[in-house]
């Protein structure tokens, strides 16, 4: 197949052949321009129901590739050089909150489809699928890019995997329904959110051991850090709040309420640490918080049930993955207005942004 060469002004859509399984295989395989700063960046969007990865050029906001990756892709991360994308795959069925445990258990589960897909971005294809534990949902890379920490939602554990060998190094009990995973910028900790236990499990990245657990709001979904790793911000969907954590003391030092009706989901921090952006799920909005004051300074309606969020490197463009509306919204962070909506695959879930390879 033809490799993917990223050149400004050229748009390609790739239909990728199925890779050789290692140890498991991926399946078979599509916006108007608006300039953005940081023209060499790419936006990667996982599409949970179409089983693929949409690639968008920030220079044109056009879809330049659609890469099939496997079953139920959700969490997504990039290597620092942008050459490799990692995608969490799950053979477990979708079980929304309103579904009974009995109905969920009655659905078909295929654990052979679980794993972390490794995508060669330039070639536009999955080159192998690594083990990632049972039902991997979100994950993050270690600071040196050699390991990943994965939340295994149905097993109540976090799994640490060596990316080169595919060896599972640690399995850490974290409580029921772990979801969000974030590595602190200094590389010291992994934060894992516990949806049912309403807490954060703090894992020492060097030893793979749980350090402590921090009680936060109800149904925490995501976490992020200030660039100096002194503060963490955790979204709580049911409460519609952000818990602010002192990373050194492992204590919640503030709780920020989002507008009434918010169901806080994804969290990203601006490069200068001044602003916190939060997707609000079923309220269809994204809000911005002034970190210095802890006050919400604005909200904007985007697509239906925004979840994943990503910021351009210069902090000027915010991207939201809007699941039920099958699109990505682009927000100008200076005016806090929607400037574009981009059609992607079915049920977009996660977003990662990085340099073109």
Spatial distance between the Cα atoms of 247 and 182, rounded to a whole number of angstroms: 13
Delimit the domains of the chain by residue range.
41-355
* Global pTM value: 0.88
* CATH code for residues 41-355: 2.130.10.10
pLDDT 10s per residue in the chain (357 long)?
334 544 333 343 333 333 433 444 444 443 333 333 344 899 999 999 999 999 999 999 999 999 999 999 999 999 999 999 999 999 998 876 667 777 777 777 899 999 999 999 999 999 999 999 999 999 999 999 999 999 999 999 999 999 999 999 999 999 999 999 999 999 999 999 999 999 999 999 999 999 999 999 999 999 999 999 999 999 999 999 999 999 999 999 999 999 999 999 999 999 999 999 999 999 999 999 999 999 999 999 999 999 999 999 999 999 999 999 999 999 999 999 999 999 999 999 999 999 999
What distance lies between CA 209 and its chain's CA centroid?
Answer: 23
Spatial distance between the Cα atoms of 215 and 218, rounded to a whole number of angstroms: 9
The strand order across the sheet containing 199-204 reads 178-183, 189-194, 199-204, 209-215
């Amino acid at each position: 197949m033809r490799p993917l060469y990223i050149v400004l002004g050229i748009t390609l859509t790739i239909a990728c052949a199925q890779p050789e399984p290692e140890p498991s295989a991926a399946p078979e395989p599509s916006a108007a321009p608006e300039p953005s700063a940081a023209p060499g960046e790419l936006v990667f969007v996982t599409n949970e129901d179409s089983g693929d990865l949409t690639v968008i050029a920030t220079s044109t906001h056009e879809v330049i590739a659609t890469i099939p990756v496997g079953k139920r892709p959700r969490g997504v991360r990039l290597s620092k050089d942008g050459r490799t994308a990692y995608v969490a795959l799950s053979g477990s069925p979708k079980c929304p909150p309103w579904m009974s445990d009995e109905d969920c258990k009655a659905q078909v589960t295929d654990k052979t489809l679980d794993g972390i897909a490794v995508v060669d971005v330039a070639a536009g294809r999955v080159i192998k699928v690594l083990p990632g534990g049972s039902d991997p949902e979100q994950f993050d890379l270690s600071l040196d890019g050699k390991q990943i920490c994965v939340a295994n939602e149905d097993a109540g554990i976090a799994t640490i995997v060596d990316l080169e060998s595919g060896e599972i190094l640690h399995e850490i009990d974290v409580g029921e329904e772990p979801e969000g995973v974030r590595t602190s910028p200094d590389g010291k900790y992994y934060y894992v959110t516990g949806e049912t236990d309403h807490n954060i499990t703090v894992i020492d990245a060097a030893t793979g051991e749980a350090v402590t657990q921090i009680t936060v709001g109800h149904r925490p979904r995501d976490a992020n850090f200030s660039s100096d790793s002194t503060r963490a911000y955790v979204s709580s969907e049911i409460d519609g709040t952000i818990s602010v954590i002192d990373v050194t003391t492992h204590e919640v030092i503030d709780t920020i309420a989002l507008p009434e009706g918010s169901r806080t989901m994804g969290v990203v921090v601006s490069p200068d640490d001044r602003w916190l952006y939060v997707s609000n799920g079923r309220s269809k909005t994204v809000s911005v918080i002034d970190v210095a004051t802890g006050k919400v300074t604005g909200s904007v309606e985007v697509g239906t049930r925004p979840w994943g969020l990503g910021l351009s490197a210069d902090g000027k463009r915010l991207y939201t993955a809007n699941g039920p509306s099958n699109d990505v919204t682009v927000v100008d962070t200076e005016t806090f207005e929607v400037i574009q909506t981009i059609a992607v695959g079915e049920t977009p879930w996660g977003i990662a942004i990085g340099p073109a390879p």
